[in-house]
């Protein structure tokens, strides 16, 4: 059996025998587009959105929250903060169940928009929660991780305008990177 050298096959004969026809090219393009759409959909379908970002986007503006006559909980957080992510379900539950009683505002420390607030409240580790009464006046602060029952105790105190709980220690924190 003798094989032909593809370099010696005339161009016209080579293109007819080895290249795709118009219909095959069209089908290949359609299949490629469908495959790309399926892969994109699967990738987005398995990727859950960051609950902290969802809470932050649905938060009231800080100035509105501090002036609407409801107590306010402001959490300083970051996407990279594992402790902040651990506390997110409790914050989500508070926001969903107490939305008409308590404002929940999340401020991302990596967003330059909040630099002034970081300085005003002396934020140097996260999570840091600032607590305000219905008149928008600061009444307390919580540093570090708080479990769901501790968060509920804070919210009960805020909503009833009673003394804030005194936790024995600061919870786990994440240090903010220093810009030097």
| Digit-coded pLDDT (tens) for 3-53 | 666 566 555 555 555 577 888 888 888 999 999 888 877 765 555 677 888
Domain of 24, in residue numbers: 9-46
**pTM for the predicted model, two decimal places:** 0.69
Same structural domain, 57 and 28: no
Pick the catalytic residue: 74, 81, 87, 155?
81
Same structural domain, 156 and 137: yes
Place of tokens 């008149």: 135
Same structural domain, 108 and 145: yes
Q: Which token pair is 72?
A: 């306010």
pLDDT tens-place string over residues 99-149: 889 999 999 999 999 999 999 999 999 999 999 999 999 999 999 999 999
Contact call for residues 173 and 144 (beta carbons, < 8 A):
yes
Active site residue 81: yes
Domain presence at residue 3: no
pLDDT tens-place string over residues 40-63: 777 655 556 778 888 888 899 999
Q: H helices then E strands: how many in the chain?
A: 7, 6
CB burial of residue 2 (10 Å; 0-12, 13-18, 19+)? exposed
Task: Note the pLDDT of residue 48.
Answer: 65
- Give yes or no for residue 82 having a pLDDT over 90: yes
Pick the catalytic residue: 52, 65, 84, 158?
84
Number of domains in the chain: 2
Q: Which token pair is 24?
A: 């095959």
């Amino acid at each position: 059996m003798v094989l032909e050298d593809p370099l010696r096959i005339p161009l016209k004969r080579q293109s007819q025998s080895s290249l795709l026809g118009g219909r095959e090219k069209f089908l290949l393009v359609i299949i490629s587009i469908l495959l790309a759409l399926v892969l994109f959909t699967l990738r987005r379908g398995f990727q859950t959105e960051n609950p902290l970002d969802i809470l932050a986007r649905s938060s009231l503006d800080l100035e509105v929250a501090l002036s609407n006559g409801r107590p306010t909980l402001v959490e300083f957080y970051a996407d990279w903060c594992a402790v902040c992510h651990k506390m997110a379900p409790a914050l989500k539950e508070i926001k969903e169940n107490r939305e008409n009683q308590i404002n929940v505002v999340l401020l991302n420390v990596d967003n330059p928009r909040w630099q002034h607030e970081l300085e005003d409240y002396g934020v140097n580790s996260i999570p840091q929660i600032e607590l305000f009464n219905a008149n928008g006046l600061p009444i307390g602060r919580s540093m570090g991780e708080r479990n769901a029952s501790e968060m509920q105790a804070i919210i009960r105190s805020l909503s009833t305008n009673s003394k804030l709980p005194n936790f024995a220690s600061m919870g786990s924190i994440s240090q903010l990177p220093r810009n030097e």
